[in-house]
């Protein structure tokens, strides 16, 4: 049976490597490497009090450090961290209705101030009417424009239909008696 020790040069190199690996392993466990933290400082040193707590084996309480932690107040959000609930949804702010602009309704057109007070001419001919506005008297037939504003649309037996061409307002004026 061969163990591979026939070549003495290879066997010596392997042995040196095993010894070197064992030394490196022991050295890393004993804290002698560059990666290891620095040795602990004495309790009387005031340079790094937090390092003292981490590396010190002194079991006495440090009341100065406890006092500084008592002054800290917790400001939470009000949510119970021990329950697996979703936070409550945000309450939407009430929406104020949009103020609708006031629609200015135009005032009704002024009434047509003509008075229908009679017919002119014979019955068989085209009908003509007399209209009165203040002291002015107008003689008109269907389709005529009176007072540069009023168009005679239809002449009936007891009324006349007049359109104000400026406002496009149409009114029926009855036959006035007297």
For the chain, the domains span 7-87, 115-174
pTM of the predicted structure, to 2 decimals = 0.41
Alpha carbon distance 34, 22 (integer Å): 18
| Closest CA relative to residue 52, chosen from 39, 43, 63, 61 | 43
Alpha carbon distance 159, 157 (integer Å): 6
pLDDT of residue 43: 47
Alpha carbon distance 103, 92 (integer Å): 31
Q: Which residue has the higher pLDDT, 71 or 24?
A: 24
Residue 10 DSSP symbol? H
pLDDT in tens, 59-73: 788 888 888 888 788
Residue range 133-152: average pLDDT?
91
Beta strand 159-164 with 169-174 is antiparallel
The whole-chain average pLDDT of the chain stands at 79
Count Cβ atoms within 10 A of the Cβ of residue 119 and give its class: 0-12 exposed, 13-18 middle, 19 or more buried.
Answer: middle
pLDDT confidence tier of residue 45, bands split at 50, 70 and 90: very low
The residue with tokens 């003495």 is 8
């Amino acid at each position: 049976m061969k163990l591979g020790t026939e070549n003495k040069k290879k066997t010596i190199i392997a042995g040196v490597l095993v010894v070197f690996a064992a030394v490196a392993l022991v050295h890393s466990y004993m804290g002698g490497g560059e990666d290891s933290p620095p040795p602990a400082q004495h309790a009387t040193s005031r340079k790094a009090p937090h390092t003292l707590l981490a590396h010190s084996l002194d079991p006495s309480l440090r009341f100065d450090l406890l006092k500084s932690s008592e002054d800290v107040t917790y400001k939470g959000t009000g949510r119970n961290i021990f329950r697996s609930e979703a936070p409550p949804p945000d309450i939407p702010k009430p929406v104020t209705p949009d103020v609708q602009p006031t629609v200015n309704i135009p005032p009704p057109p002024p009434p047509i101030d003509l008075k229908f007070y009679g017919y002119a001419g014979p019955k068989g001919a085209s009908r003509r009417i007399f209209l009165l506005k203040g002291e002015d008297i107008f003689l008109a037939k269907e389709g005529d424009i009176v007072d540069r504003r009023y168009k005679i649309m239809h002449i009936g037996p007891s009324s006349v239909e007049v359109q104000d061409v400026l406002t496009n307002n149409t009114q029926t004026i009855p036959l006035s008696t007297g």
